[in-house]
């Protein structure tokens, strides 16, 4: 195919180790292995899409079979290299495991491997997306992988390494390919843009780098679209690029946050609708929303520099200003709401409506937090006023003392006694699960007592957090009721969470278990066995079953 007509991802695909970007360690390690003649029987390359798995597999195949290589590097000046590049070499077989998944396909492969290479030094099988092979196909490969002929090499590539059996992984030399760093990818895409005579600004290239998330192929595909939209007379700017790629300006989202935290519902909805009208995908909006929350929480650790392609200096300064008036707990609560909404939009027919309701919920959550803070502040002021009134009454009631020092001491003592009495009367110390059950009994909260004893499997208890196993028999209002009562009794907000871990047996079941255990131990005793010799039809049962409470 004429290179001028190829898409950029194919046109600029690396043909040797020197052309690779972002995978220097992998390239250096494999080059040294070839130089020292310590080539593995099987290689496995794993990583996200577009970081060079299949490309490195081909470069490795060419390096092993190149007849004109210099310093163990492929020079692409031999017939083998040309044939491998064009995917028509008779001894280098590329297989797509997505379409060749069965054991019969692997059997053909193994049968083909019995014959030596025709024109190259090694016969090489490159299997892409190897995790798609069936379990039987993997098992059929094991023996050949472990002890292949000297002329045979396997090269695997996959995006989901966890789906590959451990028995196969242990027979391969594994390389985990990392995402390409933003600055390296920016330099590469800018150089390709210049070679293609692209009239594109650096801001657009930064946007391409950001959207591609470290994938070179994604970045080149986006650049392809950008080059089509630009020419010598029309330079592609950031606003036009955002429309082409379906992304929106971060500044709009930061402005939305400003109104969100100030409680301006109309402005929040207006800004969101303007973003939505740009054709932005709801998932992209929520992911960018999470990104801004992350910056608000950690902005003090983020530097303003040229390598940060997600925030420009103006956006950075705005986020710093917003973050100054926010509590970490508020941001973490918003984070949880956003994560939950990401799963909700999958089941809603119109995600746009779901997102508007999500923003309105956040507005009311923010108002609730502010009202709680105001309530706490008012309570503190009320307590201070009450203390002042107590001091004033105390001063009038007490007889005059000879010295100021004695007067202050007496007043201080009376004030402390009154305060301690007030605190002791209103607050209850709950530091164990048993104390919680006991408090429910004392406060005559019989419904909560029943749930705690019969349906709650305790995983952990620590002030102010209780973690329990999920139980479908638990009353649906249990968490709400117990949280409300704990706050009333301790003046402290408790977190009641469900865990996937298996907790302790509920109290009632535990008592029954212990009772049965004692009964079984009694039946195993020598006294009971001798008793049965005289009374063979006798049986030992628990007192509860007898029903005689006086025994």
pLDDT at 449 (0 to 100): 87
* Whole-number Cα distances in Å, 465 to 343, 440, 455: 26, 17, 18
pTM above 0.85, yes or no: no
pLDDT at 303 (0 to 100): 62
Note the residue count of the chain: 551
pLDDT at 128 (0 to 100): 92
CA nearest 106: which of 88, 132, 80? Answer: 132
Output the furthest CA–CA distance in the chain (Å, rounded): 116
User: If you write DSSP's letter for every residue of 366-403 in order, what string do you get?
Assistant: HHHHHHHHHHHHHHHHHHHHHHHHHHHHHHHHSPPPSS
Tell me how many degrees the CA angle 193-292-377 measures, rounded to the nearest 5.
165
pLDDT at 173 (0 to 100): 93
- For the chain, the structural domain boundaries read 3-176, 182-245, 248-425, 433-499, 507-546
Q: What's the pLDDT tens digit per position in 98-138?
A: 888 888 888 988 888 888 888 888 999 999 999 999 999 99
pLDDT at 192 (0 to 100): 92
| Count of beta carbons in the 10 Å neighbourhood of residue 160 | 11
Rounded Cα distance, 346 and 340, in Å: 11
Alpha helices in 114-201 (DSSP H): 135-146, 166-169, 182-195
Q: What's the pLDDT tens digit per position in 422-435?
A: 555 568 888 888 88
Is domain 433-499 classified as CATH 3.40.30? no
Query: Domain 3-176 is classified in which CATH homologous superfamily?
Result: P-loop containing nucleotide triphosphate hydrolases (3.40.50.300)
Phi, psi (rounded to 5 degrees) for 273: -65, -35
CATH architecture of 248-425: Up-down Bundle (1.20)
The correct CATH number of 182-245 out of 1.10.8.60, 1.10.1610.10, 1.10.1520.10, 3.80.30.20 is: 1.10.8.60
- Report, as ranges of residue numbers, the positions in the chain whose pLDDT lies below 70: 1-5, 69-76, 248-249, 303-312, 370-426, 542-551
Residue 270: partners with Cβ closer than 8 Å, 6 or more residues away: none
Contact 87, 81 (CB under 8 A): no
């Amino acid at each position: 195919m004429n290179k001028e007509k190829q898409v950029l991802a194919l046109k600029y695909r690396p043909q040797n180790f020197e052309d690779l970007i972002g995978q220097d360690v992998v390239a250096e390690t494999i080059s040294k292995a070839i130089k020292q003649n310590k080539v593995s029987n099987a290689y496995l390359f794993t990583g996200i899409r577009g970081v060079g798995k299949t490309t490195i597999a081909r470069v490795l195949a060419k390096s092993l079979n190149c007849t004109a290589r210099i310093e163990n590097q492929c020079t692409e000046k031999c017939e083998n290299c040309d044939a491998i590049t064009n995917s028509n070499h008779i001894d280098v077989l590329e297989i797509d495991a997505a379409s060749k998944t069965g054991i019969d396909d692997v059997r053909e492969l193994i049968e083909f491997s019995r014959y030596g290479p025709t024109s190259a030094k090694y016969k090489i099988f490159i299997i892409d997306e190897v995790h798609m092979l069936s379990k039987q196909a993997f098992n059929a490969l094991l023996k050949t992988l472990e002890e292949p002929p000297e002329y045979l090499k396997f090269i695997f590539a996959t995006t989901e390494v966890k789906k590959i059996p451990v028995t196969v992984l242990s027979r391969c030399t594994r390389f985990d390919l990392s995402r390409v760093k933003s600055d390296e990818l920016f330099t590469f895409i800018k150089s390709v843009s210049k070679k293609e005579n692209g009239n594109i600004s650096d801001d657009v290239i930064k946007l391409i780098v950001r959207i591609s998330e470290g994938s070179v192929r994604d970045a080149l595909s986006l650049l392809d679209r950008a080059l089509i939209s630009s020419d010598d007379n029309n330079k592609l700017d950031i606003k036009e690029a955002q429309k082409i790629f379906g992304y929106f300006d971060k500044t709009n989202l930061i402005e939305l946050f400003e109104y969100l935290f100030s409680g301006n519902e109309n402005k929040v909805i207006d800004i969101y609708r303007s973003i939505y009208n740009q054709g932005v995908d709801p998932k992209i909006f929520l992911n960018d929303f999470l990104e801004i929350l992350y910056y608000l929480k950690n902005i003090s650790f983020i530097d303003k520099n040229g390598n940060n392609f997600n925030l420009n200096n103006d956006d950075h300064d705005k986020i710093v200003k917003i973050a100054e008036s926010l509590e970490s707990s508020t941001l973490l609560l918003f984070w949880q709401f956003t994560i939950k909404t990401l799963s909700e939009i999958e089941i809603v027919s119109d995600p746009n409506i779901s997102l508007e309701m999500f923003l309105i919920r956040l507005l009311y959550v923010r108002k609730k937090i502010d009202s709680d803070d105001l309530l706490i502040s008012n309570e503190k002021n009320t307590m201070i006023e009450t203390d002042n009134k107590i001091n004033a009454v105390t001063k009038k009631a007490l007889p005059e003392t000879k010295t100021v020092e004695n007067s202050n001491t007496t007043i201080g003592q009376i004030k402390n006694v009154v305060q301690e009495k007030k605190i002791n009367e209103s607050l209850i110390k709950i530091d164990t699960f048993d104390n919680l059950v006991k408090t429910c009994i004392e406060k005559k909260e019989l419904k909560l007592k029943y749930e705690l004893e019969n349906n709650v499997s305790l995983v952990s208890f620590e002030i102010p957090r209780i973690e329990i196993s999920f139980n479908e028999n638990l009353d649906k209002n249990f968490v709400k009721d117990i949280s409300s009562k704990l706050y009333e009794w301790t003046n402290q907000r408790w977190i009641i969470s469900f865990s996937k871990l298996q907790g302790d047996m509920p109290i009632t079941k535990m008592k029954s278990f212990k009772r049965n255990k004692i009964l079984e131990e009694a039946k195993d005793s020598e006294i009971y066995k001798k008793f049965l010799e005289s009374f063979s039809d006798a049986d030992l049962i628990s007192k509860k079953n007898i029903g005689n409470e006086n025994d």
